[in-house]
Amino acid sequence: MTTYADTALHHSEQGWFTKSEAWLDRKGKGAWIAAMVLGFIFFWPIGLALLFYMIWSKRMFRKSCSSRKSWSHHGMHAMSRTGNSAFDSYKEDTLRRLEQEQTDFEAFLERLRAAKDKSEFDQFMDERVCAAKGDEENGSAQA
């Protein structure tokens, strides 16, 4: 837990650029784009610099500027051990159970797909047989 003094000290150590970057990140991608457009309107090199910075820092292609950690980082963090053996064993059991449920669900979906495929094939064969009988009846009626 941080105190107000620690927070104030941390903010006073940051430069204007870091503060501006953090403020724009909190506002989202729209704020970055608005700042870039305003930069182009007032003084084009600023807009160009913001555009290059957004591309270089990958802010332009991210879903949200405020999420600095990727999902893979969260996944790796979820797999790390906490040091508490009771919690770690609980987490392992829960993850193992979820993996088993996912495997069972995928097998269930595969059985559903196979049943649907068989049903569609049977329907096709029935229609084919009916069409062949209809052709036979039409051929014998014309003769």
| Tens-place pLDDT, residues 73-99 | 556 566 778 889 999 999 999 999 999
Domain ranges of the chain: 1-65, 84-143
Mean pLDDT value of segment 126-141: 81
pLDDT value of position 100: 95
Average pLDDT over residues 27-55: 83
DSSP-derived secondary structure letter, 64: -
Cα separation, 122 vs 54, in Å, equals 57
pTM as predicted = 0.39
Q: Is the pLDDT of residue 5 over 50?
A: no
Query: Of residues 109 and 32, which shows the higher confidence score?
Result: 109
Average pLDDT over residues 92-120: 95
